[in-house]
Structure 1
Amino acid sequence: MAGRSKNAGRRLLTLKGNRWWFRREIPEVIRKAVGRGRYWQVNLRTGDLRAAQRMRDELERETAETFAAFRSGEVISPVTLSAREQGVVYREAIAAAEDDQQQGPDDWPGMYDISVESAEATAEAFRKPAEREAFLSALHGYEPVDAHLEAYLRLAKVAPKTRKERAGLIGRMAAWAAGQTPRALTLDRIDRRQAGRYVSEVIDKMHPATQTKHLTALRGYWKYLASRGLIDLPPGEPRGAGWPWNDQQLENKGKRVERDSKEAEERAFTEQEVRTLLHSPDPARMREEHIPAIRDALTISLLSGMRLAEIVSLWVEEIREGPDGVGLVFDIQQGKTDAAPRPVPVHPDLTAIVQRRMVGKTGKAWLFHELEKERDPSDTFGKRFARFRKQLGVDDMQPGKRRSLVNFHSARRWFITQARHEGQPRETIADVVGHVPDKKDMTFGVYTRGASPAQMRACVEAVRLPERQWLSA
């Protein structure tokens, strides 16, 4: 048996002086379009091998995606880059040249024989003053906070809904920075002090859950900026920490709860609301063709706990015989978290809906064919459902809240609540709905492999819809 190479841990890494470099060959077929010569080279600015390996793994994934994008035509050639984008390219090249103080291997081409002065002279080639200003601002790092937001979101490994949410949160911070007086805060001016100001003025006023989401989005974006050399980190700051947002203290956590101070939170549907949504006459101001899909998807969520995006994107081939051999399952292949891919038993009361929607369809045909051609099926359906429930009087707006306390996710909450009331184990409910195991619970979060198919089916079948007779009483 062949032994493992002693240099395996240094794959795609080269030590120049006391700094590790990431070095990956660019496929010849896209080399001209990429515009970087034969190799994609990045100074990792660290002499720590383990830190370099972590950055190497991230850059390896990102460059693979970039190469794939060039091959598919998604990325434009450098000759068509905007003035600002060209300024970024020059800035990256100059930064690499300044950091490369040691003599490199003989086979490394002199890619970075460029200076700030020569780059500034290049700005004269732009005819329009606005283009020259954009080029020079990018060259010197005087860029708006969201200058690289689209590139970051394109690479972010998150669900579409989370990507959209992060765009809004980072965009909010960018708008705050641009509105500072007497001078807007550009990327080069965002340090720990300015980040602390933003936390105090904006984030501290948010709900604790939103605070966490906001800081997570900002840390992720700044990690990307640091990994690409688009911001300068203070000496000793690791790139993966999300400076300057790491360790920012939040004021709203751990406050004393006083009488009548508990803030209203989004909740499960009541039984009355479930009956209203399922059995009321169709709303007069809704398009008739939308209503069957709304009630079918709602019923599936009520009897499975599945998320909206999981339901509306189901393919016919993802409904199959379960591992227990006694019924069908929704075989979810992707989702919001690592725990999202899972088989969810089809409740007996859903059989008719599923079979009706599968008639004449095979393979990757959508179970909810009404949404197949929508650009964002989940968002489109969510808006339709909101109109539907509001017209039926199912709403719960509270002072100071911009969203109703009930929405489609309330069906998922209802399922979880009903399963708990029926005495189903917490761990089994979590496996059915796709919640991430609690790693602090060594017994159930680390050592077990989840509920059995029989346990999951028993959990689903324990939940029953409210009786219809209530409405006509």
Structure 2
Amino acid sequence: MPKTDRPRNLNIDKRPNRYLAVHGGYWRVSMAVPKELQAELGTRLIRGLNTKSVAIARMKRGPVVEEFKAKIEAAWAARGGRKRSVLAEAVEVRKLMSSADRNMADFLQQGVDERVQEILEAGGVTWVEVLDEDFGGPSQHPVYTPEAIEEARTFRSVAAGSATPIALHHAEFMASLTIKDRSKLDEPRALSLLLDWMRANEIYPFIENVTPQVARQFERYLQSSTELAWASKAKYLGRLKVYWAWLKKQEFAKENPFYDLTVKKQVAEAEAEEERPYTDTEVQRLFMGEPLEGRAMLDVMAVAALTGARLDAVICLKVGETDEGLFRFKKQKKEKHDRDVPIHPDLYEIVNRRAEGKGPDNDLFPEWPKAKPPSVKPRSSYFSKRFTFYSKKIGVRDEVENKRRSLVNFHSFRRWFITKLEHEGVNGDLIAAIVGHKRGGLTLDRYSSGPKLQAALEAISKVKLPPLDGTPVVETRGLKPMRRKP
């Protein structure tokens, strides 16, 4: 075949910038994660190098690459090893052992002994002469490498069932969960956090190695040594607690070492500022700004602001879920049912424009599609990132030191809507019914079909966006004090 002018493959091992990529003008290390491990580690491992110089990036790359490779190997070990690895072989032998009769078990044990010897010899052997009094003279004895001894010991322990890779049963555990896909993302994150800590402390990732003492050490590390917010620390510890409870129930673990562990809330963190509603001035600036996505973003913002619905519920609306002057929002978080919310009169133009010429199963906001598999991120994930970029660009933020999220964010539209309803004198139970919160008392919450739609429409219609022509806004104040920005 004649030669072509096809570009060279830049991803070969010899390229000088292997594992390096530029983002925002700065170099960073970027390493692909094997498909089998992406649930735990994500699609890529990325670490910024804080330099615009490629020469400096090349010098700083080495330790990060080694750390990433060790992280990937630890993840493989936790799952039971790479395909055709010694560890994966031991897991297969273990499965055969568990269902073998006595004769077959004896045969398999003989195979294990032979395989252990092969592993020891494959690592390299040195013969030394040792005086053996029983034989009346010197004899040759093999000396194996420490690495081979450790690998052989691991093979024997896993094959015998006395050592279990931590993530060996994690896929089965995940399949048993009935929580939303978005919440399931916390499971591998929690496990990855534990595995990183175990790797740093040279604790092999076996279930049997996570004793109550080890679990307490991890809890202390989580408490004092990570930059996570308290809520995230408590969440991840809770997810590990649930996983080990399942392992114990399935008899894969003898105990739940996380059972009585909790992450205490620091005094300073307990007294930290809470996230708050937007002010009318902030709402005005958000709607008068010019997001790159134009109406695609502004329309979502308008529906959220004038219904109090959560972002994912808005983004996922179908055209057929806007019939009869009602939004049919899918249940969110702890809600037990879908709910109908009257469409605010100021939203008719948006709904009619977006529904025109479309079928009932078409998306109302097709500009914000769902992430492609294998990602299980919520459909609203990309919008959320773009909205954060937009709000930073126009300065509608309320940042607090050592707090990951701004005190105002997209969810502040929901808080703003609820605040406006209360300021208009709307009954608290009616507000709760409109926004999907639990209403007061068993009678209303379980036995009633809800308030009249007309009452809800009248209440919602009282909420108005601030003037969008630049007219100065006169803020209405609630009884709850607002933080004074520095």
2:280 to 271, 275, 289: 271
Whole-angstrom CA distance in 2 between matches of 1:274 and 1:356? 23
- The residue that corresponds to 2:403 in the other structure is 401
Q: Deviations over 1:288-307 (max 9, x none)?
A: xx221111111111111111
TM superposition shift of 1:359: 1.3
Which runs of 5 or more structure 1 residues have no equivalent in the other structure? 1-79, 98-109, 235-242, 322-327
The residue aligned with 1:190 is 210
Q: Deviations over 1:137-188 (max 9, x none)?
A: 654464554454455445432223322233323321222222224x345321
1:95–1:464 CA distance, 2 compared to 1 (3 A):
farther
Contact 1:94 1:112 (C-alpha < 8 Å) held by counterparts: no
Aligned to 1:246: 259
TM-score normalised per structure 1:
0.63
Cα gap change, 1:198/1:91 in structure 2, threshold over 3 Å: closer, same or farther?
same
What secondary structure does 2:248 align onto? helix
Instruction: Name the counterpart of 2:320.
Output: 317
- Find the counterpart in structure 1 of residue 385 from structure 2: 383
Cα 1:447–1:364 shift into 2, 3 Å = closer
Corresponding residue number in structure 1 for 2:303? 300
C-alpha separation in 2, matches of 1:363 and 1:111: 63
Letter in 1 for 2:210: I
Q: Note if 1:201 corresponds to 2:221.
A: yes
Q: Retained in 1: the 8 A contact 2:234–2:262?
A: no
CA deviations 1:293-326 (Å, max 9, x no partner) are 11111111111111111111111122222xxxxx
Q: Hey, what's the Cα distance between the residues in 1 that align with 2:153 and 2:364? A: 52
Question: Are 1:411 and 2:431 an aligned pair?
Answer: no
Partner of residue 217, structure 1: 239
Q: 2:261 corresponds to which letter in structure 1?
A: Q
Give 1:343's aligned amino acid. Answer: D
Cα distance, 1:125–1:276 mapped onto 2, change above 3 Å? farther
CA RMSD of aligned residues (A): 3.8
User: Cα distance, 1:437 vs. partner?
Assistant: 5.3
- Opposite residue 434 of structure 2, the aligned amino acid is V
Partner of 1:161: 182
CA contact (8 A) 1:177 1:186 kept: no
Matches of residues 169-180 of structure 1 in structure 2 within 5 Å? Answer: 169-180=190-201
String of CA shifts for 1:380-403, please: whole Å, max 9, x gaps: 111111111111111222111122
CA-CA distance at 1:219 after TM superposition: 2.6
Structure 2, unaligned stretches of length 5 or more? 1-81, 124-147, 474-486
Q: Following TM superposition, by how much is the alpha carbon of 1:349 offset from its aligned partner in structure 2, in angstroms?
A: 1.1
Comparing 147-156 and 417-426, the one that deviates more: 147-156
Partner amino acid for 1:172?
Answer: L
Shift of 1:208: 4.8
Task: Output the CA distance in 2 between the equivalents of 1:135 and 1:436.
Answer: 54
Aligned pair count reads: 354
Judge conservation of contact 2:237–2:262 (CA < 8 Å) in 1: no
In 1, the alpha carbon distance for the partners of 2:454 and 2:204 equals 60
Identity %: 27
> Given the superposition, is the C-alpha separation of residues 340 and 430 from structure 1 closer, same or farther in structure 2, using an over 3 Å criterion?
farther
1:233 lines up with 2:225 in the alignment:
no
Alignment match, 1:11: none
Kindly report which structure 2 residues correspond to 1:422-441, keeping only aligned pairs within 5 A, or say none: 422-436=424-438, 441=441
2:467 aligned partner: 467
**Matched letter for residue 391 of structure 2:** R
Pairwise CA distance, 1:118: 6.0
Equivalent residue letter for 1:335: Q
Shift of 1:126: 11
1:397–1:133: structure 2 CA closer, same or farther, 3 Å change rule?
farther
> What displacement does 1:197 show?
2.5
> Structure 1 residue 352: deviation in Å?
0.9
Cα pair distance change 1:219/1:123, threshold 3 Å: farther
* Deviation of the 1:278 alpha carbon: 0.6
Q: Is the 8 A contact 1:85 1:135 kept in 2?
A: no
How many angstroms apart in 1 are the aligned matches of 2:368 and 2:176? Answer: 26
Alpha-carbon separation, structure 1, partners of 2:449 and 2:118: 61
